[in-house]
Amino acid sequence: MADAMEQLYQQVILDHARVRQGEGELADYGGESFQINPTCGDQVTLRVQLDPAGEKIQALGWTGQGCSISQASLSVMHELVIDQPVSRAEELGGYFRELMAARGKELEGTRLEALEDASAFTGVARYPVRIKCALLGWMALRDALVQARGRA
């Protein structure tokens, strides 16, 4: 297979697409978001529960359908933000959006490191249509967090 596909579909992405972290319906939650990608019809429903102080992401669950990029991105996102302060999750979301705007260029050191497995999505940013796939989960998280915090 040509390198282009291996660069896009990094092993990390394929692994996360197969064994997805955080997939499932959350019964107790403070914020929920439904996002759809109208070009391909991919969708996700994401729920988030904060700790009693309203500062940390205590639980996060998502259900939906989508391509390997969107599913892997949701899974990686779950891994990154679970048990993290809301502010950190938002910071990471910012980095990821930055990565998607970078057209395939890597972010500088500390930001790329902070993204951990999510840095595997660097190559996705070379394919404008796929950026939306990678961002689907992060959009849902941002939206759900606004709600959860409003309620906390």
Binding site for other proteins (CB under 8 A): 1-2, 4-5, 8-9, 14, 17-26, 39-42, 59-61, 65-69, 71, 78, 82, 127, 130, 133
Nearer to other proteins, 82 or 107 (CB): 82
Residue 23 CB, shortest distance to other proteins, in Å, is 5
Separation of alpha carbons 118 and 78, rounded Å:
10
Nearer to other proteins, 88 or 111 (CB): 88
Residue 114 CB, shortest distance to other proteins, in Å, is 20
Buried b (16+ CB within 10 A) or exposed e, 127-152: eeebbbbbbbbbbbbbbbbebbeeee
Separation of alpha carbons 120 and 134, rounded Å:
11
